[in-house]
């Protein structure tokens, strides 16, 4: 009986969806929180199979993303306790990343790494799904305007993903005048710090793919394209228009 119970719990942990598909992992990023929760995934850990294995997704979320969340919260608490009148310290994590160079040096690196890790992973997980989704005509038109064609965009994005040295991310973001740009960040740096509004990202840290793909980054990148949920990307694009504040 004990063995059956354990097996049931393991299967439930891997298979059970953690929230509805309509929920947004990144909602809390622009909220002022005393303690940020680890955002639950909008799908079950095994739902990205066969392109991304359940063990990788589970470890990536419950270990890596959770660790960034915990360390970010600890740094924010210490900073706020030490300087309770600092309005930036009590702002949202997105506001803090926007004004990272105004963060006291004592906390800047830990919040660059862990606040960035918190936001980056929320966007990364939110832009994938098992169902995928066709790109909207409006977004495709913007891609064609800024990259010449959809194929040019995917080639440029893939080239960046293959050429990124070490650990980091490749992003599609809105920049000034709503222009779409492809950029890379190292480690857990966030494009928000560079005044971009990120709407799509691939995680090139080895923990994102090594269990299944080992050194075969090209295979991982090709598989990731099959998981991109363009509806979720459009939703994020619209969300930034409402929630992003310049300056």
Question: Strand 197-203's sheet: what is its strand order?
Answer: 180-186, 168-174, 197-203
Please state, as a whole number, how many other Cβ atoms lie within 10 Å of the Cβ of residue 164. 17
Strand, helix or coil for residue 171 = strand
Q: Tell whether 121 is in a known binding site.
A: yes
Strand partners, 184: 170
Q: Tell whether 203 is in a known binding site.
A: yes
CB 196 within 8 A of CB 172: no
Q: Any idea of the CA torsion for 225, 231, 233, 239, to the nearest 10 degrees?
A: -170
The Cα 228–Cα 239 span in angstroms is: 18
Q: Tell whether 207 is in a known binding site.
A: yes
CB 204 within 8 A of CB 164: yes
Q: Any idea of the CA torsion for 169, 42, 239, 65, to the nearest 10 degrees?
A: -40
DSSP label at 214?
T
Segment (H or E) for 201 = strand 197-203
Q: Which residues are annotated as a binding site?
A: 60, 121, 203, 207
Q: Which residues are annotated as a binding site for Mn(2+)?
A: 60, 121, 203, 207
């Amino acid at each position: 009986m004990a063995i059956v119970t354990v097996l049931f719990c393991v299967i439930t942990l891997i298979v059970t969806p953690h929230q509805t598909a309509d929920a947004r992992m990144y909602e809390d990023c622009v909220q002022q929180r005393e303690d940020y929760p680890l955002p639950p995934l909008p799908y079950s850990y095994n739902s990205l199979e066969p392109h991304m294995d359940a063990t990788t997704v589970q470890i990536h979320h419950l270990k890596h993303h959770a660790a960034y969340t915990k360390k970010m919260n600890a740094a924010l608490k210490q900073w706020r306790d030490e300087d309770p009148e600092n309005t930036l310290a009590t702002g949202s994590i997105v506001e803090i990343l926007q004004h990272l160079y105004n963060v006291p040096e004592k906390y800047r690196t830990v919040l660059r790494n862990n606040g960035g890790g918190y936001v980056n992973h929320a966007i990364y997980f939110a832009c994938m799904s098992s169902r995928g989704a066709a790109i909207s005509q409006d977004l495709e038109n913007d891609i064609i305007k800024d990259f010449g064609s959809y194929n040019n965009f995917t080639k440029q994005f893939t080239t960046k993903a293959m050429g990124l040295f070490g650990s980091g991310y490749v992003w599609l973001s809105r920049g000034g005048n709503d222009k779409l740009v492809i950029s890379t960040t190292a480690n857990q740096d966030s494009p928000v710090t560079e005044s971009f509004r990120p709407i799509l990202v691939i995680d090139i840290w080895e923990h994102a793919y090594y269990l299944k793909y080992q050194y075969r980054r090209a295979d991982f990148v090709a598989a990731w394209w099959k998981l991109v949920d363009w509806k979720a990307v459009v939703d994020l694009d619209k969300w930034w228009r409402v929630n992003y504040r310049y300056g």
